[in-house]
Amino acid sequence: MNGPHDLGGKMGFGPVAPEQDEPLFHGDWEARAMGVVLACGALGAWNIDESRHTRESLPPSIYLSASYYEIWTRALEILLTRHGLLTETELAEGQAMDLPAHPKRLPPERVPAVLAKGGPCDRAVTAEARFRPGDRVRTRVTHPRGHTRLPTYLMGHTGVVESEHGGYVFPDSNAKGEGEQPQRLYTVVFDGTEVWGEGGEAGLTVSADLWESYLEHA
């Protein structure tokens, strides 16, 4: 979807200014926000792609004025209410109702093991790869209403396949509850002038990991 998150190649937002020796968190509330989001995700009511899409779907006026972890918490509120784990009344009053614990509640002692395990998204696929390293490919021009990992600024541009990584969960379908539908994933390298024209920096390249259905032979 064309949301406020998809800023690659767009002007008017100022320079990227990396913070030297940036801390993991700029305040205690950020660490707590991350912990709450991870604990709620462990309930299994939604997947990582739905979570990402929910953040992307925040109104631009909110998304662009919010900090990183504020975006996480605002999206979490939506996910919890959407899946019946939080009521609008609880959210408005800031108080939980006296309900029994969720059967998949993640107790504190299990947190390290869950984080260490992670959530691998590689999957077996049987279909042969449509593309091979060295192939010239073009990204499709598509503007889906739902989630996609194809950046807008790369749509319709030509690049070269650098590597093929096997099958991975297809986020576009997974975010909508339509199943994992795994596809092959490729790293494609684009020349800067191909993406940004004459204003592109000479010698600059952009690499992107893209699913097979995003690509066609050039």
For residue 66, give the nearest of 30, 41, 24 by alpha carbon: 30
Q: How far is CA 69 from the centre of its chain?
A: 14
Q: Are 159 and 188 in contact (CB under 8 A)?
A: yes
Q: pTM, whole model, 2 decimals? A: 0.86
* Cα distances (Å, whole numbers) of residue 105 to 37, 40, 44, 80, 152: 13, 8, 10, 14, 38
Mean pLDDT of 193-197: 91
For residue 1, name the pLDDT band (cuts at 50, 70, 90): low
Whole-number average pLDDT of the chain: 91
Q: How big is the CA angle at 52 (ends 184 and 22), to the nearest 5 degrees?
A: 105
> Is residue 28 within 8 Å of 36, Cβ to Cβ?
no
In the chain the domains, ranked by start, together with CATH numbers, are: 28-117 (1.10.472.20), 122-217 (2.30.30.50)
| Sign of CA pseudo-dihedral 73, 74, 79, 84 | positive
Angle, CA of 94, 99 and 101, to the nearest 5°: 105
* Stretch 52-60: mean pLDDT: 95
Q: How far apart are CA 81 and CA 84, in angstroms?
A: 5
DSSP E strand boundaries for the chain: 122-123, 136-139, 158-168, 183-191, 205-211, 215-217
Asked if residue 9 has pLDDT above 80, the reply is no
What's residue 104's pLDDT? 66
For residue 68, give the nearest of 111, 24, 98, 112 by alpha carbon: 24
Alpha-carbon distance of 18 to 7, in angstroms, equals 17
Q: What band does 182 get if pLDDT is binned at 50, 70 and 90?
A: very high
Q: Under 8 Å CB-to-CB from 93, ≥6 apart: which residues?
A: none
Lowest mean pLDDT, pick from 24-28, 82-86, 182-186, 203-207: 82-86
Over residues 18-48, the pLDDT tens digits come to 999 999 999 999 999 998 998 888 888 999 9
> How many Å apart are CA 208 and CA 161, to the nearest integer?
10
Provide mean pLDDT across the span 106-126: 83
